[in-house]
C-alpha cells in the first residue's frame, strides 16, 4: 500500500531510543499503524487497487510504501480523513483487546483507565461509553481530565496526587494499566472481587511488591498483554472482530479517533519531541505529503 499518513505511538519513541526492538524479521522502520491506498495485491484478496485502507503493523508505517498481510487491513470509513484513519488501528485494537476481550468488560461494569489522555486511553474512553461501561481515568493535568470527561469519562484523578483518590469511585471491574510498578499496590484496593487488571506497559517501572493474600481473597486476575508480537493469525482475528463490532460505530461517527496534531513526514523529529513532552490529548499523526 502507498502510505498517506502514519500514527506515532509511545512504542515508536521507545524503539527510537533503543529500548523496544522490533520483533525478529520485522523492518527497523518505525510505525505501527498507517493509512493509504492499495497499489498492488497478490493472490486472492478482498482488496482492489485504489481501495482506501488503514493497517495494523509490527513496523514500517513511516515509509512511502509498506507490504501488509491483507488480513491486517481495514477499510477507511467513508468521508474519514487520512490522518483520522491512521490514528485508528494501533490504539483502538489495543483498547478493544485489553478492555473488552482480555479484560472481559461487561455492560455496566466499571473500568479505570490509566494515562487516560493518551491515544489508547482516549480510544478506551470512547469504547467504554459506546458499550455501556462507566469509566474513570488517571492522568497528568486538569486540562487533560476535562478533555477526557468531554469524551465520556465519568471523572478521574491527577497522577501527581496519587491514584488513591479513585477509591471513592470504585471498586473497578477492569483496570487498563500502561504504568505498572508505581501503581501496582493500589490496584489491590481499587479492584472489585473478581476484578481484571490488564498491564500493557511499564511507564512506572517493572518491579513491584504485592500482598498476594489480598490477590487471592479478591480472586483478582492479572494479565500481561502486548500486541506487537502476537501472531499474524491472532491479529487477523482481532481485526475481523473489530470490523464487525466497531466499524459501524466509526461509520456513524459514534467513535472517532482523536488527532491532536499533525506533522509532515519530514517533520518527524518535531513530532517525536512533541510526543515526548506528554502534553497532548490523543494522537500525533504524520502526513506523507
Per residue in 226-273, pLDDT (tens digit) is 999 999 999 999 999 999 999 999 999 999 999 999 999 999 999 999
pTM, full prediction: 0.95
Establish how many alpha carbons lie within 13 A of residue 238's alpha carbon, considering only the half-sphere containing its beta carbon.
24
Which residue has cell 483518590?
165
Of 134, 133, 150, nearest in space to 142 by CA: 150
**103/123 Cα distance (integer angstroms):** 15
Per residue in 174-232, pLDDT (tens digit) is 999 999 999 999 999 999 999 999 999 998 999 999 999 999 999 999 999 999 999 99
- The structural domains of the chain, ordered by start, are 2-90+228-287 (3.90.180.10), 103-224 (3.40.50.720)
Amino acid at each position: 500500500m502507498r502510505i498517506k499518513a502514519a500514527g506515532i505511538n509511545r512504542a515508536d519513541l521507545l524503539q527510537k531510543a533503543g529500548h523496544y526492538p522490533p520483533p525478529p524479521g520485522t523492518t527497523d522502520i518505525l510505525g505501527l499503524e498507517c493509512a493509504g491506498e492499495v497499489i498492488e495485491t497478490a493472490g486472492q484478496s478482498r482488496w482492489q487497487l485504489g481501495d482506501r485502507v488503514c493497517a495494523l503493523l509490527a513496523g514500517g508505517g513511516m515509509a512511502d510504501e509498506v507490504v501488509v498481510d491483507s488480513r491486517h487491513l481495514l477499510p477507511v470509513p467513508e468521508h474519514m480523513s487520512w490522518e483520522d484513519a491512521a490514528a485508528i488501528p494501533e490504539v483502538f485494537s489495543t483498547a478493544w483487546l485489553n478492555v473488552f476481550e482480555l479484560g472481559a468488560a461487561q455492560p455496566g461494569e466499571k473500568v479505570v483507565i490509566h494515562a487516560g489522555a493518551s491515544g489508547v486511553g482516549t480510544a478506551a474512553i470512547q469504547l467504554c461509553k459506546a458499550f455501556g461501561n462507566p469509566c474513570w481515568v488517571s492522568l497528568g493535568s486538569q486540562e487533560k481530565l476535562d478533555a477526557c470527561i468531554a469524551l465520556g469519562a465519568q471523572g478521574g484523578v491527577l497522577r501527581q496526587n496519587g491514584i488513591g483518590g479513585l477509591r471513592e469511585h470504585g471498586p473497578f471491574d477492569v483496570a487498563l494499566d500502561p504504568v505498572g510498578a508505581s501503581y501496582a499496590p493500589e490496584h489491590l484496593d481499587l479492584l472489585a472481587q473478581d476484578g481484571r487488571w490488564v498491564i500493557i506497559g511499564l511507564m512506572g517501572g517493572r518491579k513491584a511488591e504485592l500482598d498476594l493474600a489480598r490477590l487471592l481473597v479478591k480472586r483478582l486476575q492479572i494479565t500481561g498483554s502486548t500486541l506487537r508480537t502476537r501472531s499474524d493469525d491472532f491479529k487477523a482475528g482481532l481485526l475481523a472482530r473489530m470490523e464487525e463490532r466497531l466499524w459501524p460505530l466509526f461509520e456513524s461517527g459514534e467513535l472517532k479517533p482523536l488527532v491532536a496534531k499533525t506533522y509532515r513526514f519530514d517533520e518527524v523529529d518535531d513530532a517525536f519531541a512533541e510526543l515526548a513532552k506528554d502534553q497532548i490529548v490523543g494522537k500525533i499523526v504524520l502526513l506523507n505529503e
